Structure 1
């Protein structure tokens, strides 16, 4: 599993989007036993924090100590630095396993073996993510051109799974057809630029070229942003849910 997010983990926690509450209401509705949940690839603990409100115990893992240091803390969230593919958790332990915006970095076969080992019979695996943001046609066109033509070659090959809406990841579980969700955020221009700076391809670009390409993009977006202090930012939610049969 790659670690592209240990650097600037404080910015990751500040600028990355949250997820709609309707998504977690749905997961709560389809899971009756809420004893132990695993938030794998927890990052800043965003999902773990939400799960902690309905689960007795939430175990949150990440390979980045820096991310965990910046994560949300509560009494029933237990953080640890562990790879997704090999953990110290007991067998038949979890009622829910969640991976949010991270599974594309994993070794699928090894992770799914660990899922099957640590999950209780008929537990659920929820693979969550979010696609490319949409704001307005003018801004979307600028960001799309930047995404493809400026930083396109700097994306890790695993990024394709997000561009393909997680539809092409292996998923050897009894899949449950789920409703579609959208995440809408009200962001300032400063927040949008902060978010774009968390893209791993931007970090790779800066490392190779010694300058930040976001600076020119920001100039272009400022020209068409308008007078609003904030704008609605739309993220399509990617979701696949599977029952873990044993």
Structure 2
């Protein structure tokens, strides 16, 4: 599994968007047990933190020690450095497995074998993420050009699975039909730029070209971003199933 985020783990924890309560409520409504949850590739721990209010214990794993060092802390969340495809968890011990914005980096077959090993009979697996956001007409125009034309060639090949909302990835479970979700927030221009700078394609561009492509984008954005805060909307997608 690639690690594109250890180098800026603190910024990742600070600027990345969250997920709406409606998403977690839907997942929980389709999860039977409340003993153990596994938040795989936890990143900044936002998913694990949310689950901690609903489960006795949450295991939160990531391949990056730096990500874990910057993660949110909860008494019943236990962090460890482990890869998605091979963990130390007991067979048939987990009620819910969640993966937020990371499944596309996994070895699909090996991960699903591990999920089937650790989940209890009837346990639930939830794979979710977010695509390209929307702000307003002008910002959307600038970001569309930046996303596809400027840093587009520098996205990892796996990014296509996000753009396809995981529809073309293996999902060997009894699938549950899911509604659409959306995360909405009000961000300042500085927070918005901070978020864009966490993109893996931006880091790849900078390494290849020797300069940060967000600098030119920021100059253009500041011409049109006159409000203190703008509303930003992320489309959230979910694949949910049971073993």
State the TM-score, normalizing by the size of structure 2.
0.99
Q: What are the equivalent positions in structure 2 for 1:126-137 lying under 5 Å apart?
A: 126-137=126-137
Offset of residue 33 of structure 1: 1.3
CA distance in 2, matches of 1:79, 1:185: 28
Q: What are the within-5 Å matches in structure 2 for residues 214-233 of structure 1? A: 214-226=214-226, 228-233=227-232
Aligned length: 243
- 1:238 is aligned to 237
Structure 2: which 5+ residue stretches go unaligned?
none
Map of 1:36 onto structure 2: 36
Hey, what's the Cα distance between the residues in 2 that align with 1:30 and 1:36? Answer: 15
- Indicate the residue corresponding to 1:96 in structure 2: 96
Offset at residue 32 of structure 1 (A): 2.9
**2:50 matched residue in structure 1:** 50
Q: Which residue number in structure 2 is paired with residue 70 of structure 1?
A: 70
CA–CA distance in structure 2, aligned partners of residues 141 and 214 of structure 1: 15
For 2:42 and 2:161, how far apart are their aligned partners in 1? 19
Could you tell me which runs of 5 or more consecutive residues in structure 1 were left unpaired when the two chains were aligned: none
User: In 2, Cα distance between the equivalents of 1:149 and 1:178?
Assistant: 32
- 2: CA distance, partners of 1:169 / 1:141: 29
CA deviations on 1:74-105 (whole Å, 9 max, x unpaired) are: 11101000000011110001100000000000
CA distance in 2 between counterparts of 1:108 and 1:163 reads 17
Separation (CA, whole Å) in 2 of partners of 1:149 and 1:193? 18
Post-superposition offset of 1:146: 0.7
Write the distance in 1 (CA, Å) between the matches of 2:96 and 2:45: 16
Say which SS state the counterpart of residue 234 (structure 1) adopts. Answer: strand
SS state at 2:85 partner: coil
What is the TM-score normalised by the length of structure 1? 0.97
Moved over 6 A (4+): none
Per-residue deviation, 1:72 = 0.7
Distance 2:165 2:22 in 1: 19
Rounded to whole Å, the distance in 2 between the matches of 1:12 and 1:192 is 12
What is the RMSD of the two structures over their aligned residues, measured on CA atoms? 0.7
Aligned positions of 1:1-246 closer than 5 A: 1-226=1-226, 228-244=227-243
SS at match of 2:33: coil
Question: Whole-Å Cα distance in 2 between the matches of residues 218 and 169 of structure 1?
Answer: 34
